Amino acid sequence: MTNLSVNINKIATLRNARGENLPCVEQVAQDCEAFGAQGITVHPRPDERHIRYADVMALRPLVKTEFNIEGYPCDKFMDLVLKVRPEQVTLVPDAPDALTSSAGWDVAPNMELLTSLVERLRDAGIRSSIFVGTDIENIKLAAKTGADRVELYTKPYADLYPRDPEAAVAPFVEASRAVHKAGLGVNAGHDLNLENLEFFHKRVPFLNEVSIGHALICDALYLGLHETIKRYRDCLK
């Protein structure tokens, strides 16, 4: 079974545009769960341009499924996640001013850092996931950090899918097999949507979880949040 975790960053972006509390991030998170989401993802950034650190604190007692916090592991981020203790922390290599995640970790030069971070998370009882591409040797190194899972960066798949679905998914099939062989769980995310998700799910083995935000929230503007989550869940059956 592959779980759907809904990234609610874009809800916070819309709220912040007016400086009030509409839409309410906490209520949307609860609604997503009520409508069938099996997890809630947030990605707080240092400039708090969407999800704020205060949002993360407020969401912790409300999220009843899986709470996944992703972000670059600066001191402030690590202090936050160790205080909040979500079910999962996804470590991403974003620069502080990054518009969105654009690449996975190059593990070799960051091995010491990632290993120490994974150890801190494990000691706090938090599952760790490392954001990576499909390079097999890099995945093997990620496994050596002691991480519980990796999250495969799926933008290359989404970009190629309209032209050649089989070529687009092939590296992810091999990568997922390599992750599983190394003893880790497999997550995936970035630019997955209603057009490409079902094919990805059918082809990629051992897929534990997908995290989807931007496309899902865009679809909800037309379909409504309840119907949108249902359709994404249907893609994962």
Q: CB neighbours (10 Å) of residue 137? A: 10
The per-residue pLDDT for 97 is 63
For 191, the token pair is: 């630019």
What is the Cα–Cα distance from 170 to 128, expressed in whole angstroms?
A: 26
The per-residue pLDDT for range 171-224, each reduced to its tens digit, is 999 999 999 999 999 999 999 999 999 999 999 999 999 999 999 999 999 999
Which one is catalytic: 43, 50, 151, 209? 43
Residue 95 contacts residue 125 (beta carbons within 8 Å): no
User: Pairing between strand 66-71 and 185-189?
Assistant: unpaired
**Mean predicted lDDT score pLDDT of the chain:** 96
48 in catalytic set: no
226 in catalytic set: no
50 in catalytic set: no
Which one is catalytic: 33, 50, 151, 190? 190
The per-residue pLDDT for 103 is 80
Which one is catalytic: 66, 70, 151, 209? 70
Q: Which pLDDT band, with edges at 50, 70 and 90, does 53 fall under?
A: very high
Q: Which pLDDT band, with edges at 50, 70 and 90, does 102 fall under?
A: low
Give the DSSP H or E segment for 209: strand 207-212
